[in-house]
Amino acid sequence: MSDRNLDLFERAKQLIPGGVNSPVRAFRAVGGTPRFVQRAQGAYFWDANGQRYIDYIGSWGPMILGHGHPAVLEAVQKAATEGFSFGAPTEREVELAEEIVKLVPSLEMVRLVSSGTEAGMSTIRLARGATGRKTIIKFEGCYHGHADALLVKAGSGLATFGNPTSAGVPPEVVQHTLVLEYNNVAQIEAAFAEHGADIACVIIEPIAGNMNFVRASVPFVKRIRELCTQHSALFVFDEVMTGFRVGLGSAQGHYASLIPGFEPDMTVMGKVIGGGMPLAAFGGKRAVMEHLAPLGGVYQAGTLSGNPVATACGLATLKEIQKPGFFEALSATTRSLVDGLKAAADAEGVPFSVDCQGGMFGFFLMPELPQNYATVMKTEGAKFNALFHGLLDRGVYIAPALYEAGFVSAAHTADDIAATVAAAREVFASLR
């Protein structure tokens, strides 16, 4: 019997660069053939061969309810009968904006867009327009979409400007992007001491899901907040991944519980707010957001922004996750998974560290959790690849890359978790 995944991949490579429409899907980091998904339901998807997998990617985060949730399907089907796109305002755009602002206290206004990249790019432009400054600070290992100014790696020394990480990005485009080490308080202090009057914003993933799962320390977040306030720069939380995924208050709600009075100036959101449809948003205080066209001089537009089917999907998702006990149950399921994986690795003598928040988790094949990108890079890639394929062969699908977080949905059952842990222990035994 032929492998339909392989057949489809060969066809795709003739027409689509690398055979995929987003690079990580190509399995380049782990080797082998990508699984072409045929359908999904609940906590599972089935590939082109009809093989079922327990899904810990969930479309890279949006499917917090699991695939095909009945209330979401009903909302989307109803919206589709009313029209796919209008290029004009709809009531649901207002309802979704109201829901997001209600749940995130730091937001007074939001603008809906179609992707996290678009939201991140627009936020940077707005921060520069609102402050009249050029310099932005990001941190190595944090991903904020593929806009030119954000595809940057660290410079050669402390508080130096970055270098492009992609061909096609001229050095002069990133000359105002400063790249610092994540969780390094001394570097952010030095950067503000040298460039404070020129800094428009600091943008951060509060839980960095693109170097697997690395938390920003409380002292780090607290100090950035103090420096931004002191120097009249904007502090941006990129919550495309963490928004409504790590808790109903998102990551900023978690940090507010640890830092009295904490809130960011701007927030970037995506994934969960679209429920699996192309939808994202960025927002902040009214005084900043009113710099956007048509009120102000910062231009941003999009034909499909606030798409009526996407907003129906997102609104239905947000209503479900607000039900009593939702996040308590999701967090307990995620915790049972990571505790089980840790116990399995320990039992087989495999170095392993793990962390989670809400429905998001990450693990490292090292004895302690890393705090920055340089440490993450020391993880043994060959061992991870063996773990990935070992799980895949046993019907468990985790991210096909060492540097990506994982996601649990409300549809994952205790049996799914037990099956995953049992599969992992078998693989760990082979890694000793």
Q: Domain check: are 149 and 260 in the same one?
A: yes
CATH number of the domain where residue 13 is located: 3.90.1150.10
Q: Domain check: are 264 and 313 in the same one?
A: yes
Single residue among 296, 321, 346 that ends a domain in this structure: 321
Residue 154: the pLDDT is 57
pLDDT at 207 exceeding the cut of 90: yes
Q: Domain check: are 180 and 292 in the same one?
A: yes
Parent domain of 404? 4-68+324-431
Q: Domain check: are 219 and 281 in the same one?
A: yes
Token digits for 100? 């997001």
Residue 356: the pLDDT is 98
Q: Domain check: are 168 and 109 in the same one?
A: yes
Task: Please list, residue by residue across 72-103, b when 16 or more beta carbons sit within 10 angstroms of its beta carbon and e when fewer do.
Answer: beebbeebeeeeeeeeeebebbeebbebbeeb
| Through-space distance between the first and last CA atoms of the chain, rounded to whole angstroms | 34
Q: Domain check: are 113 and 238 in the same one?
A: yes
Mean confidence (pLDDT) of the chain: 95
230 CB-near residues (< 8 Å, 6+ apart): 192, 196
Closest to 187 (Cα-Cα) out of 373, 431, 427: 373
Single residue among 321, 346, 381 that ends a domain in this structure: 321
Q: Domain check: are 166 and 54 in the same one?
A: no
Q: How many structural domains does the chain have?
A: 2
Single residue among 268, 298, 321 that ends a domain in this structure: 321
Residue 171: the pLDDT is 83
Residue 66: the pLDDT is 98
Query: What is the DSSP code string of 41-73?
Result: EBTEEEETT--EEEESSTTTTT-TT-BT-HHHH
Residue 158: the pLDDT is 40
Residue 402: the pLDDT is 87
For residue 216, name the pLDDT band (cuts at 50, 70, 90).
Answer: very high
Hey, what amino acid is at 66? G
Q: Domain check: are 355 and 260 in the same one?
A: no
Number of neighbouring beta carbons within 10 Å of residue 53: 21
148 CB-near residues (< 8 Å, 6+ apart): 164, 169, 173, 174
> For 244-266, how does the pLDDT look when each residue is reduced to its tens digit (9 = 90+)?
999 999 999 999 999 999 999 99
Sheet arrangement for strand 280-284 = 109-113, 280-284, 266-269, 234-239, 199-204, 135-139, 177-180
List, in sequence order, every residue forming a beta bridge with 109; answer none if it has no partner: 284
Q: Domain check: are 345 and 204 in the same one?
A: no
Percent of the chain with pLDDT over 90: 89
pLDDT at 164 exceeding the cut of 80: no
> For 34-91, how does the pLDDT look when each residue is reduced to its tens digit (9 = 90+)?
999 999 999 999 999 999 999 999 999 999 999 999 999 999 999 999 999 999 999 9
Residue 161: the pLDDT is 58
| Global pTM value | 0.96
Hey, what amino acid is at 110? V
pLDDT at 165 exceeding the cut of 90: no
Give the Cα separation of 431 and 384 in Å (integer).
9
Mark residue 113 as left, alpha or beta (left: phi above 0; alpha: psi -120 to 50; beta: remaining).
beta
Q: What are phi and psi of 149, to 5 degrees?
A: -70, -10
Pairing of strands 135-139, 199-204: parallel
Tell me the C-alpha to C-alpha distance, in Å, between residue 262 and each of 106, 148, 242, 254.
Answer: 9, 30, 17, 10
For residue 170, name the pLDDT band (cuts at 50, 70, 90).
Answer: confident
Q: State the DSSP code for 87.
A: S
Token digits for 200? 């428009």
Assign 91 to helix, strand or coil.
helix
> For 325-371, how does the pLDDT look when each residue is reduced to its tens digit (9 = 90+)?
999 999 999 999 999 999 999 999 999 999 999 999 999 999 999 99
> For 381-409, how does the pLDDT look when each residue is reduced to its tens digit (9 = 90+)?
899 999 999 999 999 999 998 889 999 99
CATH number of the domain where residue 109 is located: 3.40.640.10
Residue 230: the pLDDT is 98
For residue 378, name the pLDDT band (cuts at 50, 70, 90).
Answer: confident
State yes or no: cis peptide before 260, omega within 30 of 0.
Answer: no
Residue 105: the pLDDT is 95
Cβ atoms of 9 and 19 closer than 8 Å: yes
List strand residue ranges (DSSP E) for 207-284, in order.
Answer: 207-208, 214-215, 234-239, 266-269, 280-284
Please give the positions annotated as active site: 143, 238, 271
* Average of per-residue pLDDT across 90-118: 97
Q: Domain check: are 138 and 233 in the same one?
A: yes
* Average of per-residue pLDDT across 10-20: 97
431 CB-near residues (< 8 Å, 6+ apart): 348, 350, 383, 386, 387
Q: Domain check: are 75 and 64 in the same one?
A: no
> For 232-243, how does the pLDDT look when each residue is reduced to its tens digit (9 = 90+)?
999 999 999 999
Residue 162: the pLDDT is 61
Q: Domain check: are 150 and 263 in the same one?
A: yes
pLDDT at 122 exceeding the cut of 60: yes
Closest to 184 (Cα-Cα) out of 396, 395, 397, 371: 371
Residue 160: the pLDDT is 47
* Average of per-residue pLDDT across 272-278: 97
